[in-house]
Structure 1
Amino acid sequence: MNTRFTIDHLGAQGDGVAKTDSGPVFIPFTLPGEVVTAARQKNRAELVAVIEPSSQRAEPTCRHFGTCGGCALQHMNAEDYNGWKRELVVHALRSRGLDAPVAEIVRCEPNTRRRAVFSARTTQVGVLLGYRQAASHTIVPIEECPILLPAIFERLDDIRKIVSLAEPGKEVLRLSVTATESGLDIDIGGLKKLGEKQRMAIARFAGAAGLARVSMAGEIIIEPRKPMVTFGSATVEVPPGGFLQATAEAEAAMAGLVTGHLARCKRVADLFSGSGTFALRLAVRSEVHAVESDAAAIAALDRASRHTPGLRPVSAERRDLDRRPLTAKELSRFDGIVFDPPRAGAEIQVKQIAKSGVKRVAAVSCNPVTLARDLSILTGSDYTLLSVTPIDQFLWSAHVEAVALLEKR
């Protein structure tokens, strides 16, 4: 049965929220002020029709919008979309009693995303490759994707060929694809085993197609060229399936804020360093100690630092900072810190930073809620929050990055 709703505001995941006597109802692809009809199931509803559209509504860019499960907000005009994303950061800070200058959001342009995760399986009529439909196991095949770099989208047929050569049977594969400076890097997940015949076929095809590397769950199948990216003046070999910021433009914006804030620091600790996004840029001016739990990432950082001329000393330590954070005593030898943890944040590590005498701190986060929690710990211990800059690198989604800069009073 269809019900009429008036949308009050957008929720944190980008769904329209209608207030009802029985509680809020979340309706995807709607906007504040709209009157809609939707089929309700408990506290969620599926949009049927927009009766009175909002002035914020825009024509979606992609034919798959609303079905593929990727984008949530293509139906919102750019100005309001960017304002809403910035407000996610503002609201998270206010919820912790933090009042700091929040800059305008660093925007994300279409066709800039350099990494993607596809789902795929074989069918009687060929390979089905695309994204998972929201709250479903259904794979929506894609014929366009305006968020991706052409370097990825234009090679979808090659990615499908890799799937067919793997002969996954009934298994659903998860393909992590990264556009590097030396070609596509493809890591296959979800496959229980790969026979020698399939391995050789993939290797032959990947070599002929000019792919940089194909791996399976981190094990290299073929690597005609090292997949390389550049962090500042350093060239880094990306580990199979390794983390990389989604867009080069967002990475550059984050790095500019971090390096600018820590420019006068003699010794810097880069915590949750990955493969060196910040460490290798900071090392142009500062001695850097990089700490990361992933062995392949920290090894890539170490190799790059040793082969890049002109850098100050860079030391690399493999360490799980969630279980064994750097203590306040260990941090006392640094005058600058940058940390960029996973979505859960860095609460245990931040408590040690708060006890330290480190003068300058740059906090990078992909989760405004955990960022606000971590910042509240620091501001409660004589740190002044100087600025927060929201950065969009997941276009038309509810995800937003932020860089916060702090100084010890």
Structure 2
Amino acid sequence: MPEQIVIERLGAKADGIAESASGPVFVPKTLPGETVTVERDGSRADLIRVDAASPERETPFCPYFDECGGCATQHMKHGFYRTWKQEILARTLRQARIEAPVDGMIDAHGDGRRRVTLHVRFPERAMHVGYMAARSHQIVEIAFCPIAEPVLKERAPVIARAIGEHLKSARKPLDVQITNTSTGFDVDVRGHGPLKDASRLSLIGLAEKLDLSRLSIHGDVIVERRPPAIVMGRASVVPPAGSFLQATRLGEETLARFVTEACGRAKRVADLFSGSGPFALRLAERSEVHAVEYDQGSMSALDRAFRATPGLRRVTTEARDLFRRPLLTPELDAFDAVVLDPPRAGAEAQARQLAASKVPLVVSVSCDAATFARDAAILMGSGYRLERVVPVDQFKHSPHLEIIGILRREVAKRRR
């Protein structure tokens, strides 16, 4: 039954929050001070209409915003959005009892997302292509995505639909990841499983027709017509199909700039959770680097790029699960600086080893404020000082935020 409520504050996931006799009610796409009519389902509610709008509300630029679960903040004016997003980080640091200077948030959206993942589903003999609706497995069909890079905006749905047509006989739910690289589109399809020879041949022909650089199924390359290259500093990297990549080009460049500036002229740097090398290959322009990542394919891609790029200092690679086997204190003590860029879960085990080490500088890069604060607190408890925190808005129109923390401590000078 519809009811009218007043939104009192905004949560960390961008939901408006109203108080009721049974506890807080979360309403997406609302703002503090608004009177809204909703339909409740426990502590969640669907917005029916805004009866009295906040002066901080603006018209979303995407026609799919009301239904699509991808963006969460297009209804916010930019100044309000910036303040809210920075306050999420500030509040998280306060809760962890961390005091440190926090820079103003840097907009790193640039030309937009260079990678999108579209879902292809086959309900009742139909085919739907798009993004998931909020808190739902329903597909919101889209013809374009305005937050993607210009070349991806309209092409991505076309590519996903064409792949769905070729694989529809299995009627399996597909996730089609499309990355815009320097040499064209790199496409990895998840959900189908192994292909028969006839299907593989059909997809090779489709890749030709769509002019894809590479097409893979679950990381298994069906065809590579051109190496899908990602420029990282002076180097050009061909990462494994479907592997991790920063969301935007400007986001990667911004993070890498702060990382390399912080490391200065450190002679030896450990780049932990290094991926295919967005930091390592730039750091190697003036430092020796040891890159560590769980995925052997990423390590191989980084190594190939290093060997093909003249003028870099030595880069060594190691495939290692840093959650289970973090670098130990004696290993860490060989480095002048350590860069950490873990997944959302953070790097607690590695942070504890660093806390016992003699490493003078740690540069922590994180996409989760809570685990960033937890790991920073571990380091600060052993004498590191968090001298700077930089929020980077790579995931614009979402609650997610990239964070760079520079932690330094005085250590006894090493004997020559």
TM-score (norm 2): 0.96
**Map of 1:361 onto structure 2:** 362
Q: Secondary structure at the match of 2:281?
A: helix
- Deviation (angstroms), 1:146: 1.2
Distance 1:19 1:211 in 2: 51
C-alpha deviation, 1:170, in angstroms: 2.3
What's the offset of the Cα at 1:116?
Answer: 1.0
Distance 1:110 1:362 in 2: 24
In the aligned structure 2, how far is the partner of 1:110 from the partner of 1:332? 38
1:176 corresponding residue in structure 2: 177
Please list the CA deviations of residues 172-207 of structure 1 after superposition, one character each: whole Å capped at 9, or x if unmatched: 101111111110011010003322222111101212
Taking structure 1 as reference, are residues 124 and 293 closer, same or farther at Cα in structure 2, changes over 3 Å only? same
Q: CA contact under 8 A between 1:176 and 1:186: conserved in structure 2? A: yes
For 1:196, give the aligned amino acid: D
2:414 is matched with: none
Q: Which amino acid aligns with 1:198?
A: S
Given that 1:268 and 1:337 are in contact with CA atoms closer than 8 Å, whether structure 2 keeps it comes out as yes
The SS at the match of 1:397 is: coil
Q: Is the 8 A contact 2:120 2:160 kept in 1?
A: no
- The separation in 1 between residues aligned to 2:344 and 2:163, in whole angstroms, is 31
Question: CA, structure 1 residues 73+203, in 2 after alignment: closer, same or farther (shift >3 Å)?
Answer: same
Does the Cα contact within 8 Å between 1:110 and 1:148 map onto a contact in 2? no
Match of 1:248 in 2: 249
Q: Name the structure 2 match of 1:78.
A: 78
CA apart distance, 1:391: 0.9
Does residue 305 of structure 2 align to residue 282 of structure 1?
no
1:243 Cα deviation from its structure 2 partner: 0.7
Between 236-245 and 114-123, report the one with greater CA deviation: 114-123
Q: Distance in 2 between matches of 1:397 and 1:300?
A: 30
Q: State the shift of 1:12 in Å.
A: 1.0
Given the alignment of the two structures, is residue 96 of structure 1 paired with residue 96 of structure 2, yes or no?
A: yes
- The aligned amino acid for 2:310 is P
Q: How many angstroms does 1:128 deviate by?
A: 2.0
Structure 2 spans left out of the alignment, 5+ residues: 411-416
Partners in 1 of 2:272 and 2:108 — Cα distance? Answer: 26
Tell me the distance in 2 between the aligned counterparts of 1:265 and 1:139: 49
CA distance in 2, matches of 1:110, 1:339: 24
Give the distance between the partners of 1:207 and 1:112, measured in 2 at CA. 26
More displaced 10-residue stretch of structure 1: 312-321 or 204-213: 204-213
Query: What residue in structure 1 maps to residue 382 of structure 2?
Result: 381
Asked whether the 8 Å contact 2:193–2:217 carries over to 1, the reply is no
Residue by residue over 1:87-125, the C-alpha shift from the partner in whole angstroms, topping out at 9 and shown as x without a partner, is: 111111111111111111111447510011110034688
Partner amino acid, structure 2, of 1:144: F
Residue pair 2:16, 2:30 contacting (<8 A) in 1 also = yes
- C-alpha distance in structure 2 between counterparts of 1:298 and 1:130, whole Å: 33
Partner of 2:205: 204
Aligned 8 A contact 2:119 2:174 in 1 = yes
Percent identical? 46
Q: Deviations over 1:217-248 (max 9, x none)?
A: 00000110000001110110021001110001
CA gap of 1:44–1:110, structure 2 versus 1, over 3 A, is farther
Moved more, 363-372 or 395-404: 395-404
1:82 and 1:107 in contact (8 A); partners too: no
Paired position in structure 2 for 1:32? 32
What code does the residue aligned with 2:159 have?
Answer: D
Cα gap change, 1:111 to 1:257, in 2 (>3 Å): closer
What CA distance in whole angstroms lies between the structure 2 residues aligned with 1:98 and 1:336?
22
* Aligned residue identity for 1:37: T
* Aligned 1:11-22 pairs, distance under 5 A: 11-22=11-22
Instruction: Check conservation: 1:353, 1:378, Cα contact below 8 A.
Output: yes
* 1:168 Cα deviation after fit: 4.5
Q: Deviations over 1:337-377 (max 9, x none)?
A: 10100000000000001111111110000000100000011
In structure 2, the partner of 1:64 is 64
The alpha carbon displacement at 1:149 in A equals 0.9
CA distance in 2, matches of 1:211, 1:363: 36
| Alignment-mate amino acid for residue 145 of structure 1 | C
Note if contact 1:56-1:76 (Cα within 8 Å) is conserved in structure 2.
yes
Aligned-partner residue type, residue 384 of structure 2: Y
Q: CA deviation at 1:283?
A: 0.4
Distance 1:42 1:160 in 2: 36
Partner Cα distance (2:104, 2:47) in 1: 32
SS of structure 2 residue aligned to 1:167 = helix
Corresponding residue number in structure 1 for 2:53: 53
Write out per-residue CA displacement over residues 299-330 of structure 1, whole angstroms, 9 at most, x where no aligned residue.
Answer: 11111111111111100000000000001111
Q: Secondary structure of the residue that 1:289 maps to in structure 2?
A: strand
Per the TM alignment, residue 126 of structure 1 is displaced from its structure 2 partner at its CA by 6.3
Q: How does 1:183-198 map to 2 (within 5 A)?
A: 183-198=184-199
Letter in 2 for 1:350: A
Q: Distance in 2 between matches of 1:12 and 1:209?
A: 40
Contact 1:98 1:376 in 2 (8 A): yes
What code does the residue aligned with 1:191 have?
H
Q: Give distance in 2, aligned partners of 1:72 and 1:330.
A: 43
**Residue in 1 aligned with 2:43?**
43
* Residues 231-266 of structure 1: CA deviation (Å, up to 9, x unaligned): 110110021001110001011111011000001210
Q: 1:349 to 1:381 in 2, by over 3 A?
A: same
1:145-178 CA-partner distances (Å, limit 9, x unpaired): 1111122223232331122112353211011111
Deviates more, 1:77-86 or 1:159-168: 159-168
Root mean square deviation of aligned Cα: 1.4
How far apart, in 1, do the equivalents of 2:114 and 2:169 lie?
26
Structure 2 counterpart of 1:323, one-letter code: R
Secondary structure in 1 matching 2:176: strand
* 8 Å Cα contact 1:28-1:46 kept in structure 2: yes
CA contact (8 A) 2:174 2:189 kept: yes
**1:19 alignment partner AA:** E
Higher alpha-carbon deviation: 312-321 or 118-127: 118-127
What are the residue-to-residue correspondences of 1:279-318 with 2, within 5 Å?
Answer: 279-318=280-319
Counterpart of 1:117, as a letter, is T
- After superposition, the Cα gap between the structure-2 partners of 1:110 and 1:274, relative to the gap in structure 1 and judged at 3 Å, is closer
Structure-2 separation of matches of 1:328 and 1:204? 52
CA distance in 1 between counterparts of 2:316 and 2:370 reads 31
The aligned counterpart of 1:271 is 272
| Partner AA of 1:294 in structure 2 | D
What residue identity is the alignment partner of 1:249? L
**Aligned pair count?**
409
